[in-house]
Structure 1
Amino acid sequence: METRGTKPVIFLFTFPLQGHLNPNFQLANILFNRGFSITVIHTEFNSPNSSNFPHFTFVSIPDGLSDSEASNPDVIELLHDLNSKCVAPFDDCLKKLLSEEPTAACVIVDALWYFTDDLTEKFGIPRMVLRTVNLSAFVAFSKFHVLREKGYLSLQESQADSPVPELPYLRMKDLPWFQTEDPRSGDKLKRGVIKSLKSSSGIIFNAIEDLEAEQLDQTLKEFPVPLFCIGPFHRRVTASSSSLLTQDMTCLSWLDKQEPKSVIYASLGSIASMDESEFLEIAWGLRNSNQPFLWVVRPGSIRGTEWIEILPKGFIESIEGKGKIVKWAPQIEVLSHRATGGFLTHCGWNSTIESICEAVPMICKPSFGDQRVNARYISDVWRIGLHLENKIERLEIENCVRALMTSSHGEEMRKRIMPMKETAEQCVKLGGSSDRNLGNLIAYILSF
């Protein structure tokens, strides 16, 4: 095997959305620490800060996105644009890299790069795929063709609470739904991703098989390729920031002044947006709960506004000492802080697994995709959180925060989440499931 110095080389093709960059770079650090040399291939769009990762080699490819395409609120159309525009640049890049490292171990691509299967096959290099959702959501995604054939994906609102026979824990409203103008666009994405996964050399998950044994069995039946559950990634590596936004570190010193387990942390992810009325209902709900709160409001996440200028006069003054609003936060550090006692979350898998690892129960406000599946598992299967199922109103937010933070119901959730935290800790220790799977993954890559 050709190596850079004495290390086998892996090419990692990251996907340029925040929720994907984090696990991509965590995986890169895990493999680097186990003796691999990492070359990161990335787009110019949402380009990562290479200075945060001096131990990696970075190669940029042009993505050809216009300003309007790059700012398209229809995320699914953005994904398709990236997949179509990056074919030739990735082809050129891979050709050049392989001329320099002709026997590199493999390429690892984010699952959203569904176009890559033909190119890696052309060059004869093994292609591993990183899937950044958990197994429960993955099973739901994998059955989309059945769900579409049975008409579940176009059901009327009146059927939203109906059970899904093929996915016994879910209701119709929990099915992975994509924020797109054209439903066929979402279908195209799912078909492309599933085809790419089934033709891959293997799939890597930031998941804990001990928490999802039933779903692992289903996945193995559906995808006849090697699977490696080696999560939680962030528990294996020291933090290196892959954040596209500047993190406001003052929130940590603010948390230092709060009582243990007293703060509700609210952050609704890096993509989803809300309208002004919904934002104001959350604001008043947090304030009226009388619990200390740390609220991340991403610039541009409120449609039609720059940031929080629509808050009524006197609101900021009224939360002095009790609430803090920031543009972005170092989430892992916030969740692990002694003052944090609850998490109002969009239920992306990164946020969910980070919350489980810190035994922080959740209030679920999902938007699309795997978030809906995760929210149902959090509230009804694992029973470690509350689900905001109705229209967002201040009284519901207030009541949920109080229930989570101060009631016996919330205390029961804390007791239930503790064994999950312990499982997450044990699985990465020597002999744990994720530790064994990582050893198997490394041996597998070295066998190519």
Structure 2
Amino acid sequence: MEEKAVRRRVVLVPLPAQGHISPMMQLAKALHLKGFSITVAQIESNPLTVSDADDFPHFRFVTIPTSLPEPELKIVGLVEFLTKLNEICAVSFKECLSKLLQQQQGDDDGIPSCVIYDEYMYFSGAVSKELKIPSIVFSTTNATAFICRSAQGRNNTNEFLAPLREPGGQDKLVPGFHPLRYKDLPTSAFAPLESLMKLYANAAQKRTASAVIINTASCLESSSLSRLEQDLQAPVYPVGPLHMAASASCSLLEEDRSCIEWLNKQKPSSVIYISLGSLALMEHKDMMEMAWGLANSNQPFLWVIRPGSISGSEWAESLPEEFSRIVSERGHIVKWAPQKEVLSHSAVGCFWSHCGWNSTLESIGEGIPLICRPFSGDQKVNARYLDRIWRVGIQLEGELERGGVEKALRRLMVNEEGAAMKERALCLKEKLKASVKPGGTSHNALDELVSFIKTLQYK
């Protein structure tokens, strides 16, 4: 009788936030399609955790117990929450992983070949080492931001902090990081610099991990990828954009599909799509300037206003009556949208974004130029690259003012400058498409990653 082939099992540990879960689940799907069994280890009792595993029927989901109450994220802020998470989860993850090993000894479905963990879930690496399971770090941002965080974590008391506190220092270029200025470095809107540097010191290092996976492509960051591999002295696998290589739907917020019906009625490349992601916050005065800039641009717009994202407002009830009339004439507002579908729609001509890495990849992956308004972390790195390196975005800096908003939108949507940006964005789109096809750099990197994982052994 022919022996049944044993699938190697990979355990993935995502950070429980939308921008991290999406690429981790896309990576999981890509590895499953390559023949691996998948176990996803989730944090218990967190409102951001994937709740519906039905979309991934072939995956196994296990829970990492935690004593953190649900409101903890809002109370202490994101950076302190991540620090606490790493302090308390090691013991429960060890128990969870030990049970998995016991259950699957001799199982046809395979014991874990390795643990792949989000860089901010670094407790997973320590536990994997203790249980003698190989581990791999997964970065959901790009290589440039990874290098920045690593450098900041190593030098948290000197050159990266001092200029941020000097008059005019924020506008100076960072030596060795062209074209980034000190204010473009990945600092957080959620925590003091010192707390963030401590988190980076723990997160942006491979420790005993065997390799690093990054959701990026060589055509976007070849020099940064080479530098990162040299710094880490370990294999680096740029397998992105993962949403193009292995699409996996895992939105943690309910999507309003009425926006697709509305887009169907608009002219090609005429709509400004606005979405500031799942965590960014906005002051009421900025929202008002943004609203009037949109109104004065005379362009149709689709605006995602996430509940609770505007200071002092539950949703969009604070918009003036006159603007509400303009919305009814040429705009559409929703609480959340199916973003990849929106960006691929022929009516969309521009994306006003917070420049999270997923949104950045999704936009240039559809050839859509951007209005860049970063909020926190790596978004500032991404915005600078979109503006100065890839030249497919316009960065809005300083105080938002309706005249400046209108001018930027017209530059991109009406003027020749915008047409040139669109051409460059379409060129990047073709390069990204080629990278994930057979023979492309990202496709090859995924195959190399698969071969590498197959060499790893539980000891």
TM-score class, shorter: over 0.9
* 2:188 alignment partner in structure 1: 178
Within-5 A mapping of 1:87-106: 87-102=90-105, 103-106=111-114
Distance (Å, rounded) in 1 between the aligned partners of 2:302 and 2:257: 12
Pairs within 5 Å for 1:307-386: 307-386=315-394
Structure 1 equivalent of residue 108 of structure 2: none
Q: Is the 8 A contact 1:115 1:192 kept in 2?
A: no
**Offset at 1:320?**
1.4
Give the match's secondary structure for 2:171.
Answer: coil
Using the TM superposition, name which of 130-139 and 352-361 deviates more: 130-139
Structure 2 Cα separation of the partners of residues 67 and 220 of structure 1: 38
Could you tell me which residue of structure 2 aligns to residue 34 of structure 1? Answer: 34
Q: Is the 8 A contact 2:156 2:197 kept in 1?
A: no
Structure 1 residue 387: deviation in Å?
0.5
Worse-matched range after superposition: 349-358 or 61-70: 61-70
What are the equivalent positions in structure 2 for 1:69-148 lying under 5 Å apart? 69-72=72-75, 74-102=77-105, 103-144=111-152, 145-146=154-155, 148=157
| AA partner of residue 17 (structure 1) | A
Decide whether the 8 Å contact of 1:74 with 1:179 is kept in 2: no
Runs of 5+ unmatched residues, structure 2: 106-110
1:200 corresponds, among 195, 209, 218, to: 209
Q: How does 1:241-320 map to 2 (within 5 A)?
A: 241-320=249-328
Q: Tell whether the 8 Å contact from 1:134 to 1:206 is kept in structure 2 after alignment.
A: yes
**Which residue in 1 is equivalent to 2:20?**
20
For 2:163 and 2:64, the matched residues in 1 are separated by 36
**Secondary structure of 1:170 counterpart:** coil
Answering whether residue 54 of structure 2 is matched by residue 54 of structure 1, we say no
240-249 or 337-346: which moved more? 240-249
Q: Give the alignment's TM-score, normalised by structure 2.
A: 0.93
Task: Report the Cα offset of residue 443 of structure 1.
Answer: 0.5
Deviation readout 1:185-220 (Å, 9 max, x if unpaired): 10111010133x242111111100122111111101
Rounded to whole Å, the distance in 1 between the matches of 2:311 and 2:374 is 17
> How far off is 1:4 after superposition?
10
Give 1:229's aligned residue: 238
Where does the alignment leave 5 or more consecutive residues of structure 1 unmatched? none
Rounded to whole Å, the distance in 1 between the matches of 2:4 and 2:88 is 30
Q: Residue by residue, what CA displacement relative to the aligned partner does 1:289-314 show, whole Å, maximum 9, x if unpaired?
A: 11010111111111222111111124
User: In the aligned structure 1, how far is the partner of 2:311 from the partner of 2:333?
Assistant: 18
How far apart, in 1, do the equivalents of 2:29 and 2:57 lie?
Answer: 11
Q: Distance in 1 between matches of 2:54 and 2:322?
A: 41
Contact 1:176–1:372 (CA under 8 A) maintained in structure 2: yes
Quote the Cα distance in structure 1 between the aligned partners of 2:358 and 2:63.
Answer: 25
Shift of 1:159: 2.0
Q: SS in structure 1 opposite 2:146?
A: helix
| Partners of 1:75 and 1:179 within 8 A in 2 | no
Cα distance, 1:393 vs structure 2: 1.3
Deviation sequence 1:348-406 (CA, Å, 0-9, x none): 11000111110100010001111001111101111111010121111111111111111
1:93-144, Cα deviation, whole Å (9 max, x unpaired): 0111111224421111111112222211110001111101111212222211
Q: 1:229 to 1:65 in 2, by over 3 A?
A: same
Is 1:198–1:223's contact at 8 Å kept on the other side of the alignment? no
- Asked if the contact 1:334–1:340 (Cα under 8 Å) also holds between the matched residues in 2, the reply is yes
**What secondary structure is seen at the aligned counterpart in 2 of 1:213?**
helix
Output the CA distance in 2 between the equivalents of 1:73 and 1:317: 39
Secondary structure of 1:363's counterpart equals strand
For the Cα contact (< 8 Å) 1:152–1:172, is it kept in 2? no
Contact kept in structure 1, 2:241 and 2:432, CA below 8 Å:
yes
Alpha-carbon distance between aligned partners in 1 of 2:187 and 2:399, rounded to the nearest angstrom: 18
- How far apart are the structure 2 equivalents of 1:115 and 1:401? 44
User: Could you tell me which of 391, 395, 398 is aligned with 1:387?
Assistant: 395
Aligned partner of 2:25: which letter? F
Q: Which amino acid aligns with 2:65?
A: P
How many angstroms apart in 2 are the aligned matches of 1:148 and 1:336? Answer: 44
Matches of 1:142 and 1:62 in 2, distance apart?
29
Give the SS at the match of 2:8: strand
CA-to-partner distance for each residue in 1:242-287, whole Å, 9 max, x for gaps? Answer: 1111001110111000000000100011111111111111111111
Task: Answer yes or no: is the 8 Å Cα contact 2:11–2:41 preserved in 1.
Answer: yes
Matched, 1:158 2:168: yes
The partner residue of 2:223 within 202, 214, 225 is 214
TM-score (norm 1): 0.96
The 1:215–1:415 alpha-carbon spacing in structure 2 relative to 1, beyond 3 Å, is: same
Contact 2:78 2:191 in 1 (8 A): no
Contact 2:64–2:92 (CA under 8 A) maintained in structure 1: yes
2:179 to 169, 186, 198: 169
Letter in 1 for 2:311: R
Percent same amino acid among aligned pairs?
A: 41
Q: CA deviation at 1:152?
A: 4.1
Answer whether contact 2:164 2:182 (CA < 8 A) is retained: no
Cα deviations across residues 54-102 of structure 1 (Å, max 9, x unaligned)? Answer: 1211112222222431323621111112212212211110111111224
